[in-house]
Structure formats: C-alpha cells, structure tokens
C-alpha cells in the first residue's frame, strides 16, 4: 500500500508538469481553435533558458523562472504574430500545418550547432535533492517545489481568468471573437496575451522538468507536448480545469503503468485511456459539446 | 400522409417543443408559422431525424420515423431545405443535385471502379435527370459554377432542386423566400404550386413572409413556445386573436 | 472483339510503363540511388492518396496514417518471409494481404472512432498511431520474426520499378474512377456538410467508414511495397512524424486533389533528397530548417495548397465517352 501511494505521488510530479503545458494548449485552442503543435517546443525553449540561466548566469531560482517565463512568452507572441495571425481567416488546416512547420523549425533550428546544439545536455540542479517522510510517503523537496510552483501558477491563472478585465475579455473572445470585437475588445491583444500566458506556464514547466529530469535536448518537447495535448483533450479541450484533470490522469497512468506493468508500454497506455474516455464522452471529461445550430 | 403526435424536445433546460401535434394530408400545401423561437425549425429537425425527440411520434403514411437516421428517413420520402442554406459549397451546381440522386444509383462501387457499361449508363441517367431538374429551375447554365459562388436567390433555389432530386413525397421548406423581394416571392409562389402538381408533392413550409404564407398555403399551423396554438385556413388564422397576440404581444389587437 | 481492343487500350499504358521501368532498372542510365528515390516517391504517393481520400475527400481528420502504413509493411513482410521466398506471385499476394490487414484494422478502429468530431477524431487517431508504434516496438515479444525495436531485417527486395509504376498507375486510375463517380461525390458531400448529406439520403456513417477503410488500405499497400524496397523495417519509420509527413504532403498538394497529391509527394521526396545532395556536408542539418520554413511560407501564401482545386485533365474525366 505504501508503494502504491508512493507511485501516486510520483505520478503527481509529472502530472503537474504536464498540467502546466496542457493549460497552454487548452487556452489557445479555446480562443482560436488551433492545435498549437509548436507549444511543446516553447516548453523546450523554456527548459533551455533555464539551463543557461542556472549554468552560465548562475541566477537564483526565482530569477530563472522569470527569465524562462519572459522568454517563452515572447517567443509565443512572436510566433502568433508572424505565423498564425495571417491565417486566422483561412481554413483551419492551414494554421495547423503552419503550426507543424513552426514546431519542426524550432526543433531543428535550435539543434544546429550554432544555437543550442544537437546533443543531450545535462541540466544543472540548483539544489541538492533531499527527501522527507510525510505520512509514510517519501516526499522530495523537488516534488514539493513542483507542487507548490504549479499550484501557485494555477492560482495566478484563476485570478487572471476570473478576476481581471483581460480574463473576461479572454472568455468573451473564446465564445465569439467577432462579437467581442464589436463590443470593443481588442481581439488581437487578447489573443497575443493568451498565447503569452500559455507559454509562460510552459516555460515554468520547462524549468521544472529540467530540474526533475536533468537531460535536455531540442526534441524533448515532442513527447511531453503530445501527452499534454492529449491530457487537454482528455479533460475537455478548452476547459482549464479539464486540462489540469487530464494532465493528472495522464501522469498517474504513465507512472502506474511503468511501475506495475512495464515501462515499454508506458507511452501507449495513456492513449488507450484517452480513446476509451473519448468513446464514452466524445468531448472529454469536462468538455462542453459545441452544439451546432441546424 | 405525415402525422406528428405529442412531439417533445428539450435542450438542456429549454423546452424547444412541448407536445406538438401536426397532420398533413396528401397533396396539401401547408404553412408552419409563428414568432421566432417558437420551435418551427426544431419540428423539421426532429421529423428529418437530426434530433431525437424526448417524447412523441412521427409517421409517414403510417410508417414510424422516430429513431431512424436521417438518410433512412429520406428514403421513406421526406426531403427538406434549411433555414441557413446548407449547400455543398465547394461542389458545382451539377454535383450538388447529382449527390441527391446517388442513393438510388444503378451501379455499384465495383462498376464505378472499372467504369463498366453499367456505370456509363448509370451516370448518363443521373446526368439527364439532373439537367432536366436544373432546367426547371433555370439553373442549367450555371451547372459548372461552384454552389458557394451563386447569388443568394439561386442558392435557395438550388437547395430546393437538390431536395427534389431526392424524389420525395413530402417536401419541407424552411423559409424558402428569405431574402427575396416581392416579385421573386410571387415567382416562388407560382413555382411551388407548379412543382407540387408536377411531382405530386405534399409541402409544408416555414415562412415569415406573410404574403407567401397567406398567399398559397391552404392551411396554416401556428406555433408559439414549442406548441401548436392555432390551425386553420389563412382567413381564420388572420382573425385569430391568439395568433395576433403571439406575434405582437398581449396588448395589441391590430389586425395584420 | 470490341472488348479485347478496349482491354488492350487500357493495358497498353501500363505495359509501356512497366517496360520503361524495367529498362530503368536493368540499365544503369540513372544512378540506382535515384531510381530508389523515385520508387519511394511512387510509394509515398500511394500512401498520400490514401490519406487524401480519408481527409481531402471525406473530411476525416486522421493523424495516425503511419500506423496503417506500418501494419501493411509488417504484415506483408512477415508473410513474404514465412512463405514467399522470391516468388513474384506470392509478393503480390503478400501486398494484397498487407493491405487487407490494414483495412481490417481500420474497420475495427473506425467503427467506434469515426463517431467523433473532427479535432477529437484527429487526437484519437493520433493516439491510435502511438499505440501502434508502441506495439511495433514490442512486437518481437509476440512474434519474434517482426523484430521489434531491433528492427526487421532480411526482407526480400521484391519491389522492382515495373511493379512500382504499375501499382501506382492502377491506384491512380482507380482513385480517379471512384472519386469522379457518384460514390466519390457522396464522400465529398459528407466533407462539405454532413448534415445536409444525411438529409439528402447518404448513409454518412457507412460512407465515412468506407472512405477510411479504403484510405488505410492504400496506406497498407504502400507499406508492403516499402518493406520490400528497403528490406529493413524499424518502428521509428511509423511514428507520429511519419503521419505528419504524409499530412503535410496532402495539404501542400491541395485537399481533395489527386494531381496535387501526386506532385506534392514527388516534390517532397525529391526535395528532401535533393537538399541532402545539394547542401555542403557541414550544413546538412539545415535541410530540416529550410523545409519547415518552406512549409510555413507556402501555407501563408497559398493556404489552399499548390493545386487548390485544379486537376490534370485525366483526373477530371468522368465517364469514358
């Protein structure tokens, strides 16, 4: 029983990181109906920014986070302006293919020797990992940091979305961007803000991931990105609580499968769960079906 | 011909239909009218199988329809047009109508694959039927135009043509005169009478334009808040206080 | 007599293509490396055409196409290894079997999954693709012959140029025939407006399933051809990136456009190889930096794809006069 709870805690560790990434996917999809394939790579850039901030600049941890957040947000806003905005009125598949193009570009461009480089790089741990026993479970300080940071980010996100004007504007634009625009909302600004906000969370996630699994590489965002996106769909794409729920489920299924079944099936099991859920609830667990007016 | 009994449909907390009863006699040309939001299009959607009712029954010539998929309902003889025009926008005018003939196609996929004689004959037949139908609507010159590029009025007529290509017994038209000027409405009225005669149809139309509704409908069915509030000839309906109130609100007694 | 001359008319271009292919392979007029690339382009066209039927024509957003490519590849290779030796007849049977396997799996997957709407269908097929990749990685624990993560080696090199061009030719003609018939129009009507198609009498679920199965069957066929071209299979050939590759080709060429798919497949493969040759060795990684840039620029300038709606005349023809 102890080990089971232990595995659950471990599952929460990766689950929380997935949540930070998943939120970006769900918010962007909610507002522009785009599957932002490049989001996983923004996460990767966040991790690399963290790497350089700790290793080269020797910055304290909170500064590292700030830098990663700023860098990731800036990157996402630039991408949106150059690659997605011009296609907003074109068929959706064109934006999707462009997103794929941006993703590939980020992965391979940063893999050039002149940029980040093609190898696996070791992410420096800014603190020694220690663990403490809490209620019969081993809790590492790393996990505590992940939990607290993520919960803090979620609280901040909740505040922004529900208690600020920008948040209200975000919700309006995601319902109907034409009408929101007619009501005086600066739609472009809101969309840029949403991209930036999602990327900021991914940036935090990137740093946390780097600390937790200290091997970074320019393709490191592919699988976590895919899984986080799946998590967002699982929870109901467009729903913020759904993204968190889906991510936690993904984290748990992965960890428990690796612990009790076999680690080779780890990547597959999450998708089996996804398909099972979609068949029962076609719009995800907390998703709201979009009824089409006939 | 068409019998609807006690039709009920809920959307979340909203009762779109609360017990609708409706009967169409064979060959009839009837109108379904009522204020916006009264549930008229919902009736169409339930009858054609797009929504499943929570309660009630629909039958065509005695055959029950509830629970059947839209394409099965079509095969039983019901065709419709849509309030918001649902054409196949990237298909040509010709193809839009040809698709509707496809369910009764005389060749199978293997014949199509090998382009056998049967396929050629079948395609010829469909093409002829389509061109004849388009000629009726004066759309044959536009046969290779994309449906999405047609002027609005032509789009509406194309939708009716597509519905007729399904060779139905009952035709449900959802606001066929929307966006038309008075002379176009007059032409449409004559046209509807003509196709009813030629194709031996039973027609039910939803309309807001009273000239059309009062002009050609033999019987009017009035809905409000999801239920039928009155039924009768145009003359009777015009003078029915409940109808006037439904449209204009309780305080008004003005005759329209 | 008329029948025979009609048949001869149809068979002639294929025979000519096969003969040309044979010459291409037998003589060394062209560097065999490029001949193989040409064959890869043909095979990719078959697979891409399959996805075009699924997505371009029927409107089903499938992100797991590579999985069916893999199923066809492994199934055909397995059968060929077990019983075929070097027999060309067996090879054709193995290809058909591989295609049938892919089609069968598509049927089983499609039945539950095709009820989902567009983006959700995409993610479900993506998930299926990843599940298959994981199964391919672990395949050697059920069937050691399949090699698993170590790869499957020793597959007979049966995909000759004549076979490649003849099969591509048959697939192109079949696709054209189907697409320009009432059946093709029914598929497209579902893409355009599923609800209107339903009320017009089209059994939308059945057609969606048929389109999906047909497209995946083509992917399986292409996979079988691929297996016997390079004689080596590895699960990494059938991952999400591969599904993305073929999606890019289909969108670049123009959704629902056969000519576009053909040109884009050849263009993509030759561009990839061309850049590998053109770029100086120190800059070889720039290949994958240039390609996404090209992709982005193309989408920004021509979102409807290179061909949009225009087709080569052959593919527009409806019935034989």
Q: What is the DSSP string of A189-212?
A: HHHHHHHHHHHHHHHHHHHHHHHH
C303 falls within a domain: no
Report the alpha-carbon distance of residue A86 to residue C300 in Å, rounded: 7
Compute the nearest-CA separation of C259 from chain A (Å).
19
Nearest to A86 among C124, C295, C300 (CB): C300
The answer to whether A9 touches A170, Cβ cutoff 8 Å, is no
Chains that touch A (3 or more CB pairs under 8 A): B, C
- The answer for residues whose C-beta is within 8 angstroms of residue C309's C-beta and 6 or more apart is B90, C254, C256, C257
A positions 263-292 inside 8 Å of B (CB): 291
Chain A partners within 8 Å of B41 (Cβ): 294
Report the alpha-carbon distance of residue A119 to residue A124 in Å, rounded: 15
Report the alpha-carbon distance of residue B217 to residue B233 in Å, rounded: 8
Report the alpha-carbon distance of residue B132 to residue B245 in Å, rounded: 45
The answer to whether C159 touches C221, Cβ cutoff 8 Å, is no
Nearest to C165 by CA among C15, C314, C315: C15
C2 falls within a domain: no
Q: Is the pLDDT of residue C1 over 70?
A: no
Nearest to C244 among A86, A100, A294 (CB): A100
The parent domain of residue C193 ranges over 38-237
Place of tokens 């290809």: C95
- Kindly compute the dihedral angle of the four CA atoms of residues B175, B179, B183, B187, in this order, to the nearest 10 degrees: -40
CB contact under 8 A, B87 and C196: yes
CB contact under 8 A, B103 and C196: no
Query: What are the beta bridge partners of residue A122?
Result: A215
A223 CB near a chain C CB, below 8 Å?
no
Nearest to B69 by CA among B105, B25, B103, B40: B103
Nearest to C75 by CA among C89, C92, C95, C90: C95
b/e map of C204-221 (b: 16 or more CB within 10 Å)? bbebbbbbbbbbbbbbbb
Report the alpha-carbon distance of residue C238 to residue C251 in Å, rounded: 19
- The answer for residues whose C-beta is within 8 angstroms of residue C258's C-beta and 6 or more apart is C49, C52, C172, C175, C176, C179, C311, C315
- The vertex-C16 CA angle with C15 and C20, nearest 5°, equals 115
Chain C partners within 8 Å of B122 (Cβ): 182
The answer to whether C247 touches C61, Cβ cutoff 8 Å, is no
- For A16, the enclosing helix (H) or strand (E) is helix A2-32
| Two tokens, residue C313 | 């005349």
A105 CB near a chain C CB, below 8 Å?
yes
Nearest to A35 among C116, C119, C291 (CB): C119
Q: B87-101, B212-226, C182-196: which range is least confident on average?
A: B212-226
C interface with B, Cβ–Cβ < 8 A, is 174, 177-178, 181-183, 185-186, 188-189, 192-193, 195-205, 309, 318-320
Every domain of chain B and the residues it spans = 1-77+168-256, 87-155
Compute the nearest-CA separation of B164 from chain C (Å).
10
Report the alpha-carbon distance of residue C75 to residue C228 in Å, rounded: 11
B positions 125-154 inside 8 Å of C (CB): 126
Place of tokens 């982005």: C296
Of C127, C268, C306, C309, which to mutate for an interface test with A (greatest number of A Cβ within 10 Å)? C127
Report the alpha-carbon distance of residue C185 to residue C177 in Å, rounded: 11
Report the alpha-carbon distance of residue B233 to residue C287 in Å, rounded: 76
C246 falls within a domain: no
A240 falls within a domain: no
Q: pTM to 2 decimals?
A: 0.90
Q: Could you read off the pLDDT tens digit of each residue along chain A, which spans 294 residues?
A: 457 888 888 899 999 999 999 999 999 998 898 999 999 999 999 999 999 998 888 888 889 999 999 999 999 999 999 999 999 888 888 888 899 999 999 999 998 888 888 889 888 887 888 888 877 778 888 888 899 999 999 999 999 988 898 888 988 888 888 888 888 888 899 999 999 999 999 999 999 999 998 889 999 999 899 899 989 988 988 888 999 999 999 999 888 888 887 777 888 888 888 888 888 888 888 887 766 677
Compute the nearest-CA separation of C285 from chain A (Å).
7
Tell me how crowded residue A292 is: count the other CB atoms within 10 A of its CB: 9
The parent domain of residue A134 ranges over 15-220
C305 falls within a domain: no
Chains that touch C (3 or more CB pairs under 8 A): A, B
| Two tokens, residue A45 | 């850039």
Compute the nearest-CA separation of A293 from chain B (Å).
9
Please identify, in words, the CATH class of the domain defined by B1-77+168-256: alpha beta
Chain C partners within 8 Å of A105 (Cβ): 289, 292-293, 296
Per-residue model confidence (pLDDT) at position A2: 57
In residues, how long is chain A? 294
Q: Is the pLDDT of residue B253 over 50?
A: no
Chain A partners within 8 Å of C303 (Cβ): 87, 90-91, 94
Helices A266-280 and A240-256: crossing angle in degrees, nearest 10, is 140
> Strand B55-60 to strand B2-11: parallel, antiparallel, or no bridges (unpaired)?
antiparallel
| Two tokens, residue B220 | 């009017």
Q: What is the DSSP string of C139-193?
A: GGGT-GGG-GGG-B--------HHHHHHHHHHHHHHHHHHHTSHHHHHHHHHHH-
**pLDDT above 90 coverage of chain A, percent:** 45
CB contact under 8 A, B41 and A291: no
Chain A partners within 8 Å of B51 (Cβ): 294
pLDDT digits (tens, 9 = 90+) for B114-160: 888 889 999 999 999 999 999 999 888 988 999 999 998 889 999 99
A105 falls within a domain: yes
Chain B partners within 8 Å of A291 (Cβ): 11
Sign of the CA dihedral with A56 first, then A217, A67, and A87 last = positive
A6 falls within a domain: no
Q: What is the number of domains present in chain C?
A: 1
C201 backbone φψ class: left, alpha, beta (φ>0; ψ -120 to 50): left
Compute the nearest-CA separation of A23 from chain C (Å).
17
């Amino acid at each position: 029983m102890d080990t089971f709870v232990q595995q659950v805690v471990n599952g929460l560790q990766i689950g929380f990181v997935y949540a930070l990434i998943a939120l970006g996917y769900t918010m962007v999809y909610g507002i522009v109906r785009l599957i932002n394939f490049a989001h996983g790579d923004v996460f990767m850039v966040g991790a690399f920014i963290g790497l350089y901030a700790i290793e080269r600049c020797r910055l304290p941890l909170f500064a590292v986070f700030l830098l990663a957040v700023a860098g990731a947000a800036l990157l996402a806003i630039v991408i949106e302006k150059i690659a997605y905005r011009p296609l907003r009125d074109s068929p959706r598949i064109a934006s999707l293919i462009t997103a794929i193009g941006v993703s590939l570009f980020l992965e391979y461009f940063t893999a050039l020797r002149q940029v980040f480089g093609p190898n696996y790089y070791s992410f420096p741990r800014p603190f020694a990992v220690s663990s403490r026993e809490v209620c019969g479970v081993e809790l590492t300080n790393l996990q505590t940091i992940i939990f607290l940071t993520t919960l803090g980010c979620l609280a901040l996100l909740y505040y922004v979305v529900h208690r600020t004007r920008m948040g209200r504007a975000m919700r309006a634009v995601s319902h109907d961007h034409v009408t929101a625009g007619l009501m005086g909302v600066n739609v472009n600004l809101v969309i840029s803000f949403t991209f930036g906000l999602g990327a900021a969370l991914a940036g935090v996630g990137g740093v946390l991931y780097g600390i937790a699994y200290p091997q970074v590489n320019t393709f490191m965002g592919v699988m976590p990105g895919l899984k986080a996106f799946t998590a967002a769909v699982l929870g109901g794409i467009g729903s913020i609580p759904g993204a968190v729920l889906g991510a936690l489920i993904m984290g748990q299924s992965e960890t428990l499968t690796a612990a009790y079944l076999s680690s080779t099936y780890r990547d597959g099991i999450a998708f089996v769960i996804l398909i099972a859920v979609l068949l029962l609830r076609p719009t995800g667990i907390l998703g709201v079906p979009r009824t089409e007016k006939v | 011909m068409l019998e609807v009994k006690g039709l009920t449909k809920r959307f979340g907390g909203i009762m779109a239909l609360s017990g609708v009863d409706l009967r169409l006699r064979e060959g009839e040309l009837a109108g379904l009218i009522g204020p916006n939001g009264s549930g008229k299009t919902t009736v169409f959607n339930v009858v054609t199988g797009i929504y499943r009712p929570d309660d009630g029954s629909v039958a065509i010539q005695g055959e029950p329809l509830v629970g059947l998929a839209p394409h099965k309902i079509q095969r039983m003889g019901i065709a419709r047009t849509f309030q918001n025009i649902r054409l196949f926008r990237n298909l040509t005018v010709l193809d839009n109508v040809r698709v509707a003939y496809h369910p009764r196609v005389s060749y199978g996929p293997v014949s199509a694959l090998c382009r056998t004689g049967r396929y050629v004959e079948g395609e010829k037949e469909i093409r002829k039927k389509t061109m004849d139908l388009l000629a009726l609507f004066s759309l044959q010159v536009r046969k290779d135009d994309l449906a999405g590029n047609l002027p609005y009025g032509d789009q509406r007529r194309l939708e009716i043509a597509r519905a007729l290509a399904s060779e139905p017994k009952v035709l449900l038209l959802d606001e066929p005169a929307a966006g038309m000027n008075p002379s176009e409405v007059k032409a449409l009225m004559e046209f509807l009478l003509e196709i009813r005669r030629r194709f031996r149809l039973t027609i039910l139309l939803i309309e807001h334009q009273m000239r059309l509704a009062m002009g050609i409908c033999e019987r009017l069915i009035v809905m409000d808040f999801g239920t039928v509030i009155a039924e009768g000839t145009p003359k009777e309906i015009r003078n029915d206080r409940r109808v006037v109130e439904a449209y204009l609100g309780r305080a008004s007694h003005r005759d329209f | 007599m008329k029948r025979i001359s009609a048949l001869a008319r149809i068979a002639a271009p294929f025979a000519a293509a096969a003969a040309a292919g044979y010459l291409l392979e037998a003589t060394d007029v062209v560097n065999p490396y490029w001949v193989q690339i040409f064959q890869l382009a043909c095979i990719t066209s078959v697979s891409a055409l399959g996805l075009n039927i699924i997505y371009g024509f029927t409107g089903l957003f499938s992100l797991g196409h590579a999985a069916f490519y893999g199923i066809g590849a492994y199934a055909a290779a397995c059968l060929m290894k077990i019983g075929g030796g070097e027999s060309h007849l067996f090879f054709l049977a193995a290809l058909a079997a591989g295609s049938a396997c892919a089609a069968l799996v598509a049927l089983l997957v499609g039945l539950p999954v095709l009820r989902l709407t567009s983006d959700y269908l995409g993610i479900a097929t993506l998930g299926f693709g990843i599940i298959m990749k994981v199964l391919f990685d672990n395949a050697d624990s059920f069937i050691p012959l399949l090699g698993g993560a170590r790869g499957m080696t020793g597959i007979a090199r049966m995909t000759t140029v004549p076979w490649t061009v003849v099969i591509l030719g048959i697939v192109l003609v079949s696709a054209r025939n189907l697409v320009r018939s009432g059946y093709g129009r029914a598929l497209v009507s579902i893409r355009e407006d599923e609800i209107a198609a339903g009320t017009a009498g089209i059994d939308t679920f059945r057609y969606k399933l048929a389109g999906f199965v047909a497209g995946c069957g083509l992917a399986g066929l292409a996979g079988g051809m691929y297996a016997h071209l390079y004689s080596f299979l590895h699960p990494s050939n059938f991952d999400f990136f591969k599904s993305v590759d073929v999606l890019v080709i289909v969108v670049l060429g123009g959704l629902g456009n056969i000519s576009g798919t053909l040109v884009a497949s050849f263009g993509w493969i030759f561009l990839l190889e061309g850049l590998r040759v053109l770029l100086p060795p120190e800059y070889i990684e720039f290949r994958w930096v240039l390609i996404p840039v090209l992709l982005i620029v193309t989408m920004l300038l021509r979102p409807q794809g290179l061909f949009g709606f225009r087709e080569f005349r052959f593919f527009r023809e409806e019935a034989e006069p």
